[in-house]
Amino acid sequence: MPVIMYREAVRDALAEEMRRDERVFVMGEDVAIYGGAYSATQGLYEEFGEARVRDTAISEAVIAGAATGAAMCGMRPVAEIMYVDFMTLAMDQFVNQAGKNRYMFGGKTTVPMVLRTEGGAGRCIAAHHSQSLEAWFVHAPGVFVVMPSTPYDAKGLLKTCIRDDNPILFIEHKMLYNTKGEVPTEEYLIPLGEAAVRREGKDVTIVSYSRMALRAEEAGKALAEEGIEAEVIDLRCLRPLDMDRVLESVKKTGRLVLASEAYKNANFVCEIIARVQEHAFDDLDAPIERVCAADCPVPMSPVLEDEAIPRADKIVAAAKRTLGKA
């Protein structure tokens, strides 16, 4: 199977869907001639031309809003917001217009659009370019949130998102663009709302997503060396959410650790904690642990950034605490 980079997987998904469906088009800041701030749209402008690969002004609100209007009128836009931190500028359009129009109009419209963005820390570019803001969007009814961690998932999920009829925030991770993975040459789709079990185990469940899913896997390996068998789950989608997979695992292990790169306070994983206690309270053998970013704006200095963002060793420590081995 060919090995390609995450950013190439994103690009290939876009190109394949644009070839398949002429309603699909791409717009955003620096997506055309430049090929995307993280090179995820490289070559699209050359293949599809300026009508379907559109460089926009630095105007996040109208990027998201124009995608909404175009989607309501029969197009399938994939718009790019360069950093998830800039979603603050597009928030009303995505959350209030795109996300709510279908319901508020009695189900008589659809808004098939994807907002691609990227988030996360790791480049020492501080809190206007390094945050993980997914919780804000999962809180809003009407929109989906998808956060792939591998090239395989990035391609298969993005293709599915483009074909889905809902407004979707597709959050890539800046530190993953150059990571490599196996991606088949033949077409495939990954259904939304299906988590992936990265490692099977019986002692403790570790649930994560995006880049933290890779650190959770690292933690799983480290724990195995100490004789602890962790089951590592990558959610891939935060909404729709594969709660069944999480509950199944918790029922088996009785212990749960959640790892997220977002701020700890009101982190999305708190929702999972609530649902686990609703559906599997009696299966728990230990308090649930969460490993999240420090509740300070993501700092620039590499030393501080490394301290603020969860590392694999912190996930390992949390898993051990659930087993009384701290």
Place of tokens 């398949």: 20
Region near other proteins per CB under 8 A, out of 97-105, 224-232, 307-315, 317-325: 97-105
CB of 318 to other proteins, least distance (A): 25
Pick the catalytic residue: 60, 118, 172, 231? 60
Q: Which of 21, 59, 178, 265 binds other proteins (CB under 8 A)?
A: 59
Q: Return d(Cα 205, Cα 199) in angstroms, integer.
A: 10
The answer to whether 68 contacts other proteins (rule: CB under 8 A) is yes
In the chain, count H helices and then E strands.
Answer: 12, 14
H helix runs in 21-150, sequence order: 44-48, 60-72, 91, 101-104, 134-138
CB of 123 to other proteins, least distance (A): 28
Question: How many of the chain's residues bind other proteins (CB under 8 A)?
Answer: 55
Site mask for other proteins (CB under 8 A), range 108-147, x = bound: xxxxx----------------------------xx-x---
Q: Which amino acid is at 51?
A: A
- 237-239 β-sheet, strand order: 53-55, 24-28, 76-80, 114-119, 168-173, 144-146, 237-239
Pick the catalytic residue: 8, 29, 129, 173? 129
128: annotated active-site residue:
no
- 230-234 β-sheet, strand order: 196-199, 230-234, 204-208, 256-263, 289-293
The answer to whether 238 contacts other proteins (rule: CB under 8 A) is no
Tokens of 3: 């090995």
The answer to whether 88 contacts other proteins (rule: CB under 8 A) is no
Region near other proteins per CB under 8 A, out of 52-60, 115-123, 124-132, 205-213: 52-60
Binding site for other proteins (CB under 8 A): 25, 51, 56-57, 59, 61-62, 64-75, 77, 92-93, 96-97, 100-112, 141-142, 144, 163-166, 191, 193, 239-244, 247, 275, 279
